[in-house]
Amino acid sequence: MNPFLLLRLKNAVSGFRAAHPKFFSFLRTVSEQGLPEESIVEVKITYPDGREFVTNLKTTAADRELFEQLKECLRTMR
């Protein structure tokens, strides 16, 4: 991966973290608890006009591995 893109991504994550500290606190708590198989992850987007979109998934072993890899990647960006 391009090192300049990694630096830009690191800066973007830092800015996002500063703007949304509760979100990263939430992620830290979930990360500490772990994410067992068959956990339900739900995402909801509410637009300013009131429209909502919601989806969810039941985690698998492959999902857990992906989440662990993402967690490690984010850890190295601190």
Q: Are 55 and 43 in contact (CB under 8 A)?
A: yes
| Distance, CA of 21 to CA of 12 (rounded, Å) | 14
Q: Are 52 and 44 in contact (CB under 8 A)?
A: yes
Query: 2-59 pLDDT, tens per residue?
Result: 888 888 988 998 999 999 999 989 988 988 888 899 999 999 999 999 999 999 999 9
Q: Are 44 and 54 in contact (CB under 8 A)?
A: yes
| Distance, CA of 41 to CA of 47 (rounded, Å) | 20
**Does 75 score more than 80 pLDDT?**
no
pTM of the entire structure?
0.69
pLDDT of residue 77: 64
Q: Are 11 and 40 in contact (CB under 8 A)?
A: no
**Does 74 score more than 80 pLDDT?**
no
pLDDT of residue 2: 81
